[in-house]
Chains A and B, each alone.
Chain A
């Protein structure tokens, strides 16, 4: 699981997290452009998940199959869930939620890589 999508998700989600932090500091809710940014990152996430599924279909097996699939599912849903919660909370706290969801993505990229290669 060393794909360009891993780097793209990590960089993209950290960038959007920083963008949301600006909103937190300025007491602003998540703006439409920021939701769009989260959508772009989610597309990269889904591309990464696609690679993972393709690996599995090709017959490659991670160190722990069930854990790997669990992480892929969590990875796919975390940003949409965070965005939905931020949508329900049109205050600065929505920006905190969006930022938190974006910060979880790089961690999940790392964990998916670790689970695939059997570290931890």
Chain B
């Protein structure tokens, strides 16, 4: 069903988003709590990333398509912007944020995840606006 964003392959997306929500938020929480002054910008950005992951997880799990689209778009913009700035001005990031180096510290999953997420949402809305041609329905 097209409206079911969080089922089928979407459930895998929910799982991975949940994992990142947990790890990014916990890590940022520890860093902000124990050594805020060391790299405030990186830690605050990690916390922001964590919050976005949490909202995206909930939006995907509860099939709130609009909210999910908004979150994942911000996330993609964030990882591209922070990734670029962290390479051009490394002095701003004495410690890594989740999105530094386009998420290289997390195996580039933070970069791949929003792309996959947007693709999944786009695929669903296309299916909703009309029958999916058989060629599009097959397993990848």
Residues of A within 8 A of B (CB): 64, 66-67, 70, 74, 78, 81-82, 85, 88-89, 91, 93-94, 96-97, 100-101, 104
Shortest distance in angstroms between B77's beta carbon and chain A's nearest beta carbon?
A: 26
Instruction: Check B30 against A70 for contact (C-beta < 8 Å).
Output: yes
- B14 nearest in chain A by CB position: A85
Number of A-B contacts (CB under 8 A): 41
Instruction: Check B11 against A70 for contact (C-beta < 8 Å).
Output: no
Measured CA separation A85–B14 after assembly (Å)? 9
Measured CA separation A100–B9 after assembly (Å)? 13
B33 at the interface (CB under 8 A from A): yes
Measured CA separation A67–B19 after assembly (Å)? 16
Measured CA separation A64–B29 after assembly (Å)? 13
Instruction: Check B8 against A66 for contact (C-beta < 8 Å).
Output: no
Instruction: Check A93 against B11 for contact (C-beta < 8 Å).
Output: yes
